[in-house]
Amino acid sequence: MWKFPIFIILASLPTISPLSTPQPVRTIAVCGGGITGLSCAKSLSKHTDAKIIVFDPTLPPSTSIVGGGIQLNGGASILRSILDENEFTSFKHKMNPMKEIVSRSFVKDEAELLRIDVDSTLKSFASAKDLVRPDGGTDSFTVMRCTLLEALYDSVKKCSNVEVVTEGVIGVEEVKEGEAHKFNVLTTASPPQPFDLVVGCDGVSSKVKSFVSPNTKAIYSNIRISWAVSAPSMENNETRLEQFFGDGGYALKGTYGYGSGGEKCKMAVLVYREGRRVGKRGEEGVEDENSSWNASPSSSSPSSSFSSRLTSFGLPSEPFSNVATPDATYFDLGVYFHNPFQAWVKGHSGSNNTAVVLCGDAAHAMPPFLGQGANQGIRDADVLARTVARYNKEVEAGNSELNGSLLERLEGYRSKRWAQTTQITLKSVFLGYLEVGGGPLSDFRDNFFSFAGKVGLAKYIWVDGATPKPRVGEAGATKGFNLIESLEKGKLFLEALTDPAKYMDDE
């Protein structure tokens, strides 16, 4: 048996930095002042006394139409908890309640595929109990992106431990100052500033993500989305979201809250596959993601293009005539698929008590086909803030048996949120390609949605997106997710595909 001196064995082992003495997180940089970034700053301010600086050159947010409308459900219940009561009440009055979802097909004859009553659906699922208010109402709304940003910004500005710096972040670097191990935030103007924790909320083109998880590439899906947003009006009071399925594309129409005076915007969305090739961002012939929501120039006649695209997929233009007008605001975006298996957290080489972490689109940009991007970003922000707060509380209390270092806690945040956001992302990818299918795929899609509506599967899919962590079997709920029931639905679905007439209405 070979024997080696112990010093040779020890020298051959990898170098492991000793654990540094636990220190509370005192300084936090929030890079990005969008929905996730402002939600993160507000939640961190509510749960910790750390000094927080938000970096974003676009703040304060514009009150004009920048970006489309969003659905708020799970995110609304979190905003209710982190905003002051008066702030949320004021914001609620600006939102538009979403009461119904209706899907129709126009591939052959006009046919209703499914209809979801939002209030009764949320009340029937145990997993959605947090979305049902004590007064019997539900947290399901539609609101313009700019309106939500304005409400969050106004709230953040009132926080005594939050500072807003209107500079863009261009990078992050690891530094050591004496015994302190920090991360510098590099901006477009100011000298580097050191922080205990850097949170990347800077979206799909995140500079922070480039530091945490370099060389990650987004793939263009060959799916494009065109938005048409009407000018705000007091006459827009519709509480229904309508889907119109055609051959190779589909459209969505709804009303979204905008102003404190009750003004609302109508919005139409057209989703379709185009002829450009699938490829990585930046490659020749691959469309831009337009993550900055740059409006289409009026010189390109976007209203005419929108209407002609509708008819090219066999969709009626009349329901959109009061939205896709020459004076509407138009946006055109490419849908990219982002790698869900990238790292979210990076620790300091000399300490496990300082770190960089991703949040929202920077961590898990998802296709918009389940309407969950903003909701999941707000949820990330809340979970992250509570994670940091629990760590600080244990350190400050002198707990000698900490339940993990800051780095380990952040990995726990990532594990929890990754599982939930990845399943939503994968469902969105599936739905995206299903919904824009042409030819035989459009028949498959219509059969799928019709079947899903008849057996309740559509309700489950929608609620599961709004509340991605079901709590099954809780008291007071009449229905929750049941594995055996879902397998039975899967069996029925396969039967419906092979013999669709069996499950169609007689009329």
| Calpha distance 1→443 (Å, rounded) | 71
Residue 152 has pLDDT above 70, yes or no: yes
Total Cβ atoms within 10 A of residue 109: 6
Mean per-residue pLDDT for 228-251?
92
Q: pLDDT-based confidence at 289, cuts 50/70/90? A: low
Tens digit of pLDDT for each residue in 65-113? 778 899 999 999 999 999 999 999 999 999 999 999 999 999 988 999 9
- The pLDDT, as a whole number, for residue 415 is 92
pLDDT at position 292 is 60
The DSSP 8-state label assigned to residue 128 in this structure reads G
Residue 288 has pLDDT above 70, yes or no: no
Q: What is the mean pLDDT of residues 216-226?
A: 87
Mean pLDDT of 14-40: 82
- Tell me the one-letter amino acid at 247: D
Domains assigned to the chain: 27-96+145-217+340-434 (3.50.50.60)
- In which band, very low, low, confident or very high, does the pLDDT at 210 lie, cut at 50, 70 and 90? very high
Tell me the average pLDDT across 196-220. Answer: 92
pLDDT of residue 370: 87
Distance CA 201, CA 182 (A): 19
The DSSP code sequence of 294-319 is PBPPGGG-HHHHHHHHHHHTT--SGG
Residue 297 has pLDDT above 80, yes or no: no
**Pick from 268-282, 295-309, 313-327, 430-444: least confident:** 268-282
Residues 57, 37: Cα–Cα separation, whole Å: 13
Q: How far apart are CA 382 and CA 62, in angstroms?
A: 25
Q: Is the model's pLDDT at 442 over the cut of 70? A: yes
Highest mean pLDDT among 55-64, 147-156, 225-234, 301-310: 147-156
Higher pLDDT, 165 or 337: 165
- Across the chain, what does the average pLDDT equal? 84
φ and ψ of 351, to 5 deg: -160, 145
154 pLDDT more than 60 = yes
**How far is it, in rounded angstroms, from Cα 496 to Cα 84?**
49
Q: DSSP state, 33?
A: -
Buried b / exposed e across 36-48, counting CB within 10 Å, b at 16+?
bbbbbbbbbbbbb
- For the CA atoms of 327, 66, 368, 434, what is the dihedral angle to 10 degrees? 20
Amino acid found at 288: D
Regarding beta strands 218-229 and 329-338, do their DSSP bridges make them parallel or antiparallel, or are they unpaired? antiparallel
β-strand 51-55 against 27-31: which pairing, if any? Answer: parallel
Q: What is d(CA 392, CA 326) in angstroms, rounded to the nearest whole number?
A: 54
Q: Could you say which DSSP state residue 132 is in?
A: B
Q: What is the pLDDT of residue 296?
A: 65
- Virtual torsion, Cα 349, 350, 353, 359, nearest 10 deg: -20
pLDDT digits (tens, 9 = 90+) for 445-497: 999 999 999 999 999 988 988 884 533 333 333 343 344 444 444 444 445 44
Give the span between the Cα atoms of 121 and 364, in whole angstroms: 27
Predicted confidence band of residue 226 (pLDDT cuts 50, 70, 90): very high
pLDDT at 393 over 50: yes
Phi, psi of 462 (to 5 degrees): -70, -45
- Tens of pLDDT along 125-140? 988 988 998 888 999 9
Per-residue pLDDT tens over the stretch 174-194 = 998 777 899 999 999 999 999
Answer whether residue 315 shows pLDDT above 60: yes
Question: How is residue 335 written in tokens?
Answer: 């849908």
82 against 340, higher pLDDT: 82
Amino acid at 178: G
**Res. 299: pLDDT tops 70:** no
Name, in order, each residue with C-beta under 8 angstroms of 181's C-beta and a sequence gap of 6 or more.
Answer: 20, 174, 175, 348, 350, 351, 353, 354
Residue 321 reports pLDDT greater than 60: yes
pLDDT at 81: 92
Q: Which of the four pLDDT bands, split at 50, 70 and 90, describes residue 400?
A: low
